[in-house]
Structure 1
């Protein structure tokens, strides 16, 4: 059984497997004759809230001298699309997602935003099937290495992706998504072009493009441009 293999990987056995199926079901599957099938958006909402709370509590204990700003930045470096998508892939959730045929053809199961969502939905399902003590222990185990490798304070000032994540959360703009547009140049010295997207009214809208000698460098540059744009917009609104 697919569900059994996932339970082995995540280290949790569901009492109510309907919750797990719901967590793995993308809304694209619930159309036409499948309208009564529950999809994972509600569980994603719950999982996101639980993850943020558990990690906020743990970071306060580990870094008792940090102020609210530093704690927020550290949490944003843990709870972001890149990190959660990688964890989803480690659980092979991309192959377990239940999606509509159109989304399957577009390989939407590999999109970081969707991987992030299904990871949070599974977390929400585990909580509803157990209790807070169990989900807290599960999250702490999952993020133990990530917290141990957390970046030093000074790096946050240069990490535009983390700063952007914090800003978009504050402005309720959703999670930024980075996409590789293309690359050029010789294989020993390539240059990468990356686009940065935000969700607007259910559509992924490209905001900026940037180049870099690595994909990470291009992503940082695109994030920096979007930060400057959002901050400029805020200043203009305050002056009106």
Structure 2
């Protein structure tokens, strides 16, 4: 079969264009749909991203690599890539999904992206697949925080910093709560005994306020942590 020159942002010449057609067909449109390709693509995306992180972060431990991979391959990270490739406009959906805006739904877009990755792999092999797919993740990889921070919120990092130095854990206290039920504001303090530090955070939820207070404490203790 003659290779098909790409006219879209996927930029892969499919020797078997039927693979791409199947990858972009949701189960609501009937068989053959993309669920089997999605299954294969999920593993391929995990492998491609894991290998790239392994090379990029030679000193990172398994935990940091695992958290970074999870950040990069979760649904909310894959869907924007699918949008950048304009997959939504090319999806084949059943009438119900089409009417409900399925072509804009994160879950459907992320699944389609994984299916497209599998289609490229089956069409051209792993090396060609990796060469095409890895650049899609470069911007997100470059935006990752340092390995010791990735996937960890401020409260977790503050606790680890203190425990690593055998210091007492911080205490969080609600200082005030204001506003209507639909627009609450919480002000929270974070107190550390050794070294003596007290910070505050204010946000629309108590949890978010605690995170801000912990982040402020970390900036005082160790701006690079």
Q: TM-score when scaled to structure 1?
A: 0.61
How far does residue 151 in structure 1 lie from its aligned partner after superposition?
1.6
How far does residue 103 in structure 1 lie from its aligned partner after superposition?
0.9
Q: Give CA-to-partner distance per residue, 1:151-201, whole Å, 9 cap, x none.
A: 2222532089xxxxxxxxxxxxxxxxxxxxxxxx9xxxx959xxxxxxxxx
Q: 1:86 to 1:191 in 2, by over 3 A?
A: farther
How far does residue 144 in structure 1 lie from its aligned partner after superposition?
1.7
- C-alpha separation in 2, matches of 1:159 and 1:94: 35
Report what 1:149 is aligned to. 143
- C-alpha separation in 2, matches of 1:38 and 1:78: 28
Q: 1:84 to 1:29 in 2, by over 3 A?
A: same
Report what 2:104 is aligned to. 110
Q: Give CA-to-partner distance per residue, 1:102-132, whole Å, 9 cap, x none.
A: 1111112211111100011011101101011
**Structure 2 unmatched runs, 5+:** 156-178, 185-202, 212-225
The answer on whether the counterparts of 1:7 and 1:14 sit within 8 Å (CA) in structure 2 is no
- C-alpha separation in 1, matches of 2:87 and 2:104: 9
Q: 67, 82, 100: which one pairs with 1:73?
A: 67
The answer on whether the counterparts of 1:81 and 1:116 sit within 8 Å (CA) in structure 2 is yes
- C-alpha separation in 1, matches of 2:48 and 2:134: 8
Q: 1:65 to 1:97 in 2, by over 3 A?
A: same
Matched, 1:98 2:92: yes
The answer on whether the counterparts of 1:7 and 1:13 sit within 8 Å (CA) in structure 2 is no
CA-atom RMSD in angstroms: 3.0
Report what 2:24 is aligned to. 24
- C-alpha separation in 1, matches of 2:52 and 2:152: 22
The answer on whether the counterparts of 1:6 and 1:91 sit within 8 Å (CA) in structure 2 is no
Equivalent residues in 2 for 1:1-240, closer than 5 Å: 7-30=7-30, 37-152=31-146, 153-158=148-153
How far does residue 26 in structure 1 lie from its aligned partner after superposition?
0.4
Partner SS, residue 9 of structure 2:
helix
Partner SS, residue 99 of structure 1:
coil
How far does residue 9 in structure 1 lie from its aligned partner after superposition?
0.9
Bigger mean CA offset, 102-111 vs 20-29: 102-111
How far does residue 139 in structure 1 lie from its aligned partner after superposition?
2.1
Report what 2:159 is aligned to. none
Structure number with bigger Rg:
2
Higher helix share: 1
- C-alpha separation in 1, matches of 2:85 and 2:142: 21
Q: Which runs of 4+ in 1 moved over 6 A?
A: none
